[in-house]
Amino acid sequence: MKIRLVSKTTVDPSYVKYLLEEIGVPEEFKDVIEEPEGLIAYIARVSSSNQANNKYAGLIRYCMSHGHWSILEMANVVFEIETSRAISPQILRHRSFSFQEFSQRYAAVDSSGIEIYAARRQDTKNRQNSIADISPEIAAEWDRRQLENWKSSFEHYTWALDNEIAKECARMVLPLQTKTRMFMNGTLRSWVHYISLRADTATQAEHQEIASAIKAQLCESFPIVAEAAQWITE
C-alpha cells in the first residue's frame, strides 16, 4: 500500500491580483487566501462585509460543528493510491469522488504486481471484523501459499499474452491480490466523510491503513479542518 498527495486546491494568481488591486483587500491577507483553508473561509464569507478576515479558524470550526458542510466543497484534493484489486472496489464505492484506475485491459501486469496480506482469524461475533492472533507458523504458511498462487496465476497470464490472447481476457486468471494504481479526486467534504467511515474499525484492516495514511496527509494540509473533525494523527 502506498499513498501520495497529488494536488490540492490553490487560488489562481490572477484572482489574488484582482482582490488586491480591484477589491482593495489588504496586502497582509494575500498569504491567507493562498492557503486552502483561508480560501475556504473567504468563500464562506461571501455574504459578509468582512470577507477578507485573517481570523477564520473559528468560522471553520463553527460551520463543521453545526453541519454546514458546503464550505468544504470549495477545496479539492487528489491522492494517488497503490493497493490491490481486492481493496480497490471498496474505494470505488465512494461515489462522490472521481477516479482513474490502472486498466488491465490496456496495460500488462508485471511479475512484481502482488500485495501479500497478513493472515487474520475471522471474528465469530462480528463478521466485519478479523483478529490478528494467527500463529506464526500458520501466518508463514499463508504467505507461502499466496506467493505460490501468484506464481501459478502469473504463469498462466503470461502464457496467454505470449499466445496473443487479449489482455482483457488474460487478466481473468489474476488473483485479487494483483496490484492496482488509482487516482482519487474529491472535495474536502467528501474526504472528511470518507475518513469518518474508512478509518473506523468496521472497515477491513488494509483499507483502514489507506484511510489513516490519507488522514495523516490531510492533517498536514488542513490542520484547522482536522482539528474540527477531531482527527488524531498517528
List the catalytic residues.
198
- Tell me how far the alpha carbon of residue 190 is from its chain's centroid: 10
User: What are the respective helix, strand and coil percentages of the chain, to the nearest 5?
Assistant: 50, 15, 35
Determine which helix (DSSP H) or strand (DSSP E) holds 58, and give its type and residue range. helix 57-65
143: left (phi over 0), alpha (psi -120 to 50) or beta: alpha
Per-residue CA distances from 144 to 112, 138, 148, 218 (Å): 15, 10, 6, 36
With a CB cutoff of 8 Å and minimum separation 6, the contacts of 113 are: 178, 179
Nearest to 224 by CA among 61, 93, 67, 8: 61
